[in-house]
Amino acid sequence: MRTRPVLIFDGDCGFCTTSVGIARRLVRPRCDVVAWQHADLVSLGVTEEQARHEALWVTPTGRVYGGAQAVAKVLLSAGGVWSVAGAVLTLPPVRWVAHGVYRLVADNRGRLPGGTAACAVPGTKSRRA
């Protein structure tokens, strides 16, 4: 049984990898961090489709949070001022706005600094063509 939460991200995406690196250095979340490509997704209780779609936070009990709520959990786990920011991200209407911003960034991560063609979320390539 896991005793720490796990943050799952897209290790093929330069933007995602850079973002996780920055979070590890500055935020210092209390969790294990693993690229979905190297994770045992079955034991974590998530599908490849979920992991391709958004960052995931898996609690030790197996509860899964995705997207902006995964980011909120990262911030909450760090404590201090970061936990205040994380708590704010969980509150409506901030949560709704955060979800929209997360989807906008995630769906366009291939166009962001550090992004490559490998960053494209499945289904978004046809919209760019």
Assigned domain for 101 exists: yes
Lookup: tokens for 127: 């919209």
Assigned domain for 92 exists: yes
The per-residue pLDDT for 58 is 98
Assigned domain for 124 exists: no
Which residue is listed with tokens 């990898």?
A: 17
Question: What DSSP string runs through 38-70?
Answer: GS-HHHHT--HHHHHHS-EEE-TT--EEETHHH
Assigned domain for 122 exists: no
Strands 64-66 and 56-58 turn out to be: antiparallel
Assigned domain for 126 exists: no
Assigned domain for 125 exists: no
**Structural domain containing residue 57:** 6-117
Assigned domain for 127 exists: no
The per-residue pLDDT for 1 is 78
pTM of the prediction?
A: 0.87
Assigned domain for 129 exists: no
- pLDDT tens per residue across all 129 residues of the chain: 789 999 999 999 888 999 999 999 999 999 999 999 999 999 999 999 999 999 999 999 999 999 999 999 999 999 999 999 999 999 999 999 999 999 999 998 888 776 555 565 554 443 333
Strands 64-66 and 32-35 turn out to be: unpaired
Q: Structurally, how many domains does the chain consist of?
A: 1
